[in-house]
Amino acid sequence: MLNSIAILGRPNVGKSSLFNKLTKSRNAIVSDFSGLTKDRNFGYSDIKGKQYLVVDTGGVGSELTEFSEAITEQALIAAEESNLILLLIDGSQELTSDDINLLQIVRKFDKKFVVVLNKIDIKVRSNAKEDLLKYGAGEILEISAEHSRGIKELQIYISENLQDNPVPETSGTRIAVIGRPNAGKSTFINQFTKQNRLIVSDIPGTTIDSIYVPFTFNEEEFVFIDTAGIRKKYKQSHAVEYFSYVRAMHAVAEAEIALMLIDANDGVVDQDLRILNLIREHGKPVVIALNKVDELTSTDIENLLDSKKYHNTIMSDLVIMQISALQKTGFKRLFDTLAEVHKIATTKFSTGKLNKLLEKFSNATNMPSVAGRPVKMRYIHFGGIYPTKLIIHANVSTKIPSNFKRYLINSFRDELSLKSIGLNVIFKKGENPFEGKKNELTTRQIKKKKRLVKHVKKSKK
């Protein structure tokens, strides 16, 4: 099960810089301007082959702004729901009352936390470390997020202090049902399994925790994972997004396929695309179901299908279906599709088939060049699932033109019917069997070389 890490601290201590380093991205805007991050930012961190969900929060402090109360609440909710809290302190400045207050608040959560002292590269050092030790901060990690100092030590600390959460033992294929609060997830599961296992309400956030619902379809066993929205004690509207993200990510980590429900009345909104983007980064296959289409007219459906966000590139290679959970329409076709997508997502394609396709795609286009050398693809083989990995052994492995990679991905996706399935094409440089070996001449070649040298010397006289 996915572990989550919350980065907490007062404004402008380097939280977004640390987030970018851990996730190896530039998703968080970094600036010297204090308080730039107002909402949470989410991303994955891969450490020693394991994935962690990292949450970048807005700065928590005593400075009052029109957003400060909401920012503080969101940051504290993120910290309370995480498995590990990184309390970030600016090591170039003296300890402030806000830092001390945050340290005391974090302690009350009764969560694993570590104090991280940032900006140690700045020559002007403060007494922050000594003061933190006086307040009983415990272990303190020193880093420079901007210059990547101490990041490896921090990653080692994370991997050693966050153990894998056990996934509940269930028999059958696990399907995570995700979506924004009130998208109809619980209604769908109740209607599909013909059991009133889940509470259904018009109030967003009725589901409190992830719930496992086993069922049988066509004599096969499956398990629906109904994901939680917002908890009852957090009814503020701005907290809804946080729980939608985190609960969805935990469910996807446990599942083998994700079914994303979108309320057709609202259409595709920004939050749907953000959740979808994180799911696809996780590598699991995704099928989208537009729910509540029974409440729309044919004109409304046409407008939805023509909308700009519906045609977003992240949805272009996904299977999108129309259902009504309340009216039980589209269920059989949807589940046949889910079963087929899961089957293909776990298929191990043979080397022979992949190489025939690679030769076909190579002959159909002009091969690109890298540093003046034409790319030569020797062979391809299957590399794994979630996402499906195809490894191409070639004479180069880096600086492959992105348009050529996209061409290969799209070609393999079409030929192998990988719609809704993550696909990663990896180039690996093949080893030269003659590298390091000296070309030894035969006896006949040596004699011929001597005669040639003797002839050249005579001609020069």
Cβ atoms within 10 Å, residue 153: 12
- The residue type of 254 is E
Q: State yes or no: 179 annotated in a binding site.
A: yes
- Is 91 a known ligand-binding residue? no
Angle between helices 151-161 and 15-23 (to 10 degrees): 70
Q: Is 265 annotated as a binding residue?
A: no
Q: Is 268 flagged in the annotation as binding?
A: no
Residue 137 in marked binding region: no
324 is in an annotated binding site: no
Q: Which residues pair with 220 in a beta bridge?
A: 217
Ligand-binding annotation for 205, yes or no, is no
Tell me the C-alpha distance between 277 and 25, whole Å.
14
> Annotated binding residue at 10?
yes
Instruction: Determine if residue 41 is labeled as part of a ligand binding site.
Output: no
| Residue 343 assigned ligand-binding role | no
Q: Is 11 among the annotated ligand-binding positions? A: yes
227 a known binding residue? yes
Residue 16 marked in a binding site: yes
Q: Are strands 388-394 and 140-142 parallel, antiparallel or unpaired?
A: unpaired
Q: Give SS3 for 294.
A: helix
Confirm or deny that 307 is annotated as ligand binding: no
Determine whether 85 is exposed, middle or buried from the number of CB atoms within 10 Å of its CB (0-12, 13-18, 19+): buried
Question: Does the annotation flag 229 for ligand binding?
Answer: yes
9 is in an annotated binding site: yes
Q: Is 15 annotated as a binding residue?
A: yes
Q: Is 430 annotated as a binding residue?
A: no
Whether residue 283 is annotated as binding a ligand: the answer is no
Q: Is 12 annotated as a binding residue?
A: yes
35 is an annotated ligand-binding site residue: no
Q: Is there a binding annotation on residue 182?
A: yes
119 annotated as belonging to a binding site for a ligand? yes
Known binding residue 68? Answer is no
Angle at 166 (CA atoms; ends 84, 25), nearest 5 degrees = 45
**Residue 121 annotated in ligand binding:** yes
Give the span between the Cα atoms of 461 and 448, in whole angstroms: 21
27 is in an annotated binding site: no
Residue 208 labeled ligand binder: no
Distance separating alpha carbons of residues 85 and 55, to the nearest angstrom: 10
Q: CA-based Rg of the chain, rounded to a whole angstrom?
A: 28
280 labelled as ligand-binding? no
The residue written with tokens 């391809």 in the block is 380
Query: Does 72 carry a binding-site annotation?
Result: no
Q: Is 187 annotated as a binding residue?
A: no
Which residues are known binding-site members for GTP? Answer: 9-16, 56-60, 118-121, 179-186, 226-230, 291-294
Which residues are known binding-site members? Answer: 9-16, 56-60, 118-121, 179-186, 226-230, 291-294
